[in-house]
Amino acid sequence: MVFQILAVFILAAFYGCYFMKMISQRHKGIQTDQIGKGKAGLAKYIEITMKIATSIVPVVEAVSIVMDSTFFSVSVRGIGAGIAVMGVIVFIISVITMQDSWRAGVSSTDKTEFVTRGIYQISRNPAFLGFDLVYIGMVFMFYNRLLLMVSVWAMVMFHLQIRFVEEVFLLETFGEVYLNYKNKVCRYFGRRR
């Protein structure tokens, strides 16, 4: 029961941050959800598939929490809870740091600031890292094959989004500035010398 309660708080904080940011930006006239909009070909396919995957994950997480499904010991579940909490913290910090430049998906019509400060000094994609950590933590807390499969699917789609949509967009939009940043900061975590 402890892990179920903890998981509800973790997901409430995580998804609460996501939707509160969207609502806040909507009040400012900013369209946060750019997933699949104004795109074609591979970029559109990746973004739409990512959106489907990330819509299914919380449903499977909720069912797993209710069923309290698990395969792991209490200590492994505790480690999973720690990983998930870390994911929430990383995600919230990334959203706060991006301010009104934060979007879900890329937008060629919105001109946003290129953010490299704060958490973006140690991760080019901390929001995606936050998602990944929450997903991994939830799998450790409530392991079942379906949760594992949909979580891995979503994480693979995040990686494809970063690699084939966002990095291409950032290079086209910010050119040399982005290349210099990319050469200094790792895709997920760490700095290069």
CA distance 57 to 172: 31
Give the per-residue pLDDT at 12. 96
CB-based contact 21:102 (threshold 8 Å): yes
pLDDT at 69: 83
**For residue 113, what pLDDT is reported?**
76
Quick one: how many helices (H) and strands (E) in the chain?
6, 0
pLDDT in tens, 18-60: 888 778 767 877 666 666 667 778 988 998 999 999 999 999 9
Q: What is the pLDDT of residue 102?
A: 61
pLDDT of residue 22: 73
Show me where the domains of the chain are located: 2-15+38-99+113-184
At residue 103 the predicted structure's pLDDT band, cuts being 50, 70 and 90, is low
Cβ density class 5-14: b for 16+ within 10 Å, e for less: ebbeebbebb
Binned at pLDDT 50, 70 and 90, residue 82 comes out as: very high
Please check whether residue 84 is in contact with residue 7, taking contact to mean a CB–CB distance below 8 angstroms: yes
Which pLDDT tens digit goes with each residue over 134-187? 999 999 999 999 999 999 999 999 999 999 988 998 898 888 999 999 999 999
Give CA–CA dist 184/186, Å, rounded.
7
Nearest Cα to 136, choosing from 193, 38, 61, 66? 61
98's tokens: 């991006």
Q: Are 165 and 43 in contact (CB under 8 A)?
A: yes
Q: How confident is the model at residue 114 (pLDDT cuts 50, 70, 90)?
A: confident
Tens of pLDDT along 1-12? 899 999 999 999
Residue whose token pair is 């998804």: 15
